Protein backbone atom coordinates (compact mmCIF):
# COMPACT_ATOMS: atom_id res chain seq x y z
CA UNK A 1 0.00 0.00 0.00
CA UNK A 2 1.03 3.57 -0.57
CA UNK A 3 2.53 5.35 2.40
CA UNK A 4 0.34 7.96 4.07
CA UNK A 5 2.79 10.79 3.32
CA UNK A 6 3.09 9.71 -0.32
CA UNK A 7 -0.71 9.44 -0.65
CA UNK A 8 -1.17 12.95 0.77
CA UNK A 9 1.47 14.34 -1.61
CA UNK A 10 -0.15 12.67 -4.63
CA UNK A 11 -3.63 13.90 -3.67
CA UNK A 12 -2.32 17.45 -3.14
CA UNK A 13 -0.66 17.28 -6.56
CA UNK A 14 -3.99 16.30 -8.14
CA UNK A 15 -5.91 19.06 -6.32
CA UNK A 16 -3.43 21.78 -7.25
CA UNK A 17 -2.35 20.81 -10.78
CA UNK A 18 -5.62 19.58 -12.31
CA UNK A 19 -7.85 22.54 -13.22
CA UNK A 20 -11.42 22.29 -11.91
CA UNK A 21 -10.77 19.54 -9.33
CA UNK A 22 -13.51 19.37 -6.68
CA UNK A 23 -12.16 16.37 -4.83
CA UNK A 24 -9.81 13.43 -5.16
CA UNK A 25 -9.46 10.09 -3.38
CA UNK A 26 -7.21 7.04 -3.42
CA UNK A 27 -9.47 4.01 -3.02
CA UNK A 28 -8.92 0.33 -2.30
CA UNK A 29 -11.63 -1.39 -4.35
CA UNK A 30 -11.19 -4.73 -2.59
CA UNK A 31 -12.60 -3.11 0.57
CA UNK A 32 -14.28 0.03 -0.78
CA UNK A 33 -12.30 2.13 1.68
CA UNK A 34 -10.80 5.50 0.84
CA UNK A 35 -7.10 5.40 1.80
CA UNK A 36 -6.88 9.16 1.44
CA UNK A 37 -9.12 12.03 0.38
CA UNK A 38 -8.71 15.73 -0.33
CA UNK A 39 -11.37 18.27 -1.20
CA UNK A 40 -15.01 17.34 -1.41
CA UNK A 41 -17.47 18.87 1.03
CA UNK A 42 -21.13 18.71 1.98
CA UNK A 43 -22.15 18.26 -1.67
CA UNK A 44 -19.40 15.72 -2.40
CA UNK A 45 -18.80 13.15 0.35
CA UNK A 46 -15.64 11.44 -0.85
CA UNK A 47 -16.06 8.48 1.52
CA UNK A 48 -19.49 7.74 0.02
CA UNK A 49 -18.08 8.32 -3.49
CA UNK A 50 -15.23 5.86 -2.79
CA UNK A 51 -17.64 3.11 -1.73
CA UNK A 52 -20.08 3.78 -4.57
CA UNK A 53 -17.43 3.90 -7.26
CA UNK A 54 -15.97 0.65 -5.93
CA UNK A 55 -19.26 -0.93 -7.06
CA UNK A 56 -18.82 0.64 -10.52
CA UNK A 57 -15.29 -0.78 -10.86
CA UNK A 58 -16.30 -4.24 -9.63
CA UNK A 59 -19.31 -4.34 -11.99
CA UNK A 60 -17.16 -3.40 -14.99
CA UNK A 61 -14.51 -5.98 -14.10
CA UNK A 62 -17.22 -8.68 -13.75
CA UNK A 63 -18.73 -7.68 -17.11
CA UNK A 64 -15.35 -7.83 -18.83
CA UNK A 65 -14.78 -11.28 -17.33
CA UNK A 66 -18.21 -12.50 -18.53
CA UNK A 67 -17.45 -11.15 -22.02
CA UNK A 68 -14.07 -12.86 -21.99
CA UNK A 69 -12.24 -9.57 -22.55
CA UNK A 70 -8.54 -10.04 -21.80
CA UNK A 71 -7.79 -6.37 -21.31
CA UNK A 72 -7.32 -3.85 -18.50
CA UNK A 73 -9.42 -0.86 -17.56
CA UNK A 74 -7.40 2.33 -17.96
CA UNK A 75 -10.08 4.67 -16.68
CA UNK A 76 -13.84 5.06 -16.37
CA UNK A 77 -15.53 8.39 -17.08
CA UNK A 78 -18.93 9.32 -15.69
CA UNK A 79 -20.32 12.54 -17.15
CA UNK A 80 -22.92 14.42 -15.13
CA UNK A 81 -24.66 17.68 -16.00
CA UNK A 82 -22.10 19.80 -14.17
CA UNK A 83 -19.30 17.38 -13.27
CA UNK A 84 -16.95 14.75 -14.61
CA UNK A 85 -16.12 11.81 -12.36
CA UNK A 86 -12.94 10.06 -13.43
CA UNK A 87 -11.87 6.68 -12.04
CA UNK A 88 -8.30 5.63 -12.89
CA UNK A 89 -7.27 2.09 -12.00
CA UNK A 90 -3.66 1.94 -10.85
CA UNK A 91 -1.19 -0.44 -12.41
CA UNK A 92 2.14 -1.71 -11.24
CA UNK A 93 3.57 -3.75 -8.44
CA UNK A 94 1.67 -3.21 -5.20
CA UNK A 95 -0.93 -0.95 -6.84
CA UNK A 96 -3.38 -3.70 -7.85
CA UNK A 97 -6.80 -3.15 -6.32
CA UNK A 98 -6.41 0.64 -6.09
CA UNK A 99 -7.94 3.48 -8.05
CA UNK A 100 -7.74 7.24 -8.08
CA UNK A 101 -11.12 8.97 -8.09
CA UNK A 102 -11.32 12.53 -9.35
CA UNK A 103 -14.38 14.79 -9.35
CA UNK A 104 -14.13 17.77 -11.69
CA UNK A 105 -16.21 20.87 -12.35
CA UNK A 106 -17.27 20.26 -15.96
CA UNK A 107 -17.23 23.97 -16.82
CA UNK A 108 -13.69 24.59 -15.51
CA UNK A 109 -11.96 21.33 -16.34
CA UNK A 110 -10.15 20.24 -19.48
CA UNK A 111 -10.89 16.52 -19.57
CA UNK A 112 -7.94 15.57 -21.79
CA UNK A 113 -5.50 17.47 -19.56
CA UNK A 114 -7.09 16.01 -16.42
CA UNK A 115 -6.59 12.47 -17.74
CA UNK A 116 -2.99 13.26 -18.68
CA UNK A 117 -2.21 14.82 -15.30
CA UNK A 118 -3.92 12.00 -13.39
CA UNK A 119 -1.54 9.56 -15.12
CA UNK A 120 1.35 11.67 -13.81
CA UNK A 121 -0.12 11.57 -10.28
CA UNK A 122 -0.37 7.78 -10.58
CA UNK A 123 3.29 7.58 -11.60
CA UNK A 124 4.29 9.63 -8.54
CA UNK A 125 2.53 7.26 -6.13
CA UNK A 126 5.03 4.89 -4.55
CA UNK A 127 3.91 1.69 -2.90
Q: What is the pLDDT along the chain (127 residues), one digit of tens a residue?
A: 456 668 899 999 999 999 999 999 999 999 999 999 999 988 899 999 999 999 999 999 999 999 999 999 999 999 999 999 999 999 876 678 999 999 999 999 999 999 999 999 998 887 6
Can you say how many angstroms the Cα of residue 14 is from the centroid of all Cα atoms in its chain? 10
Per DSSP, what are the bridge partners of residue 28? 33, 98
Q: Could you give the CA distance from residue 18 to residue 29 in angstroms, rounded to a whole number?
A: 23
pTM for the model stands at 0.91
Q: Could you give the CA distance from residue 23 to residue 31 in angstroms, rounded to a whole number?
A: 20
Q: Are 39 and 15 in contact (CB under 8 A)?
A: yes
Domains of the chain from N-terminus onward: 4-124 (3.30.450.30)
Amino acid sequence: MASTANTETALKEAMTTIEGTLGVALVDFTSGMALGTLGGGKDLDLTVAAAGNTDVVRAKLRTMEMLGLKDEIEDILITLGGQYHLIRLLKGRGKTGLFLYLALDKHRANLAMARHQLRKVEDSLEV
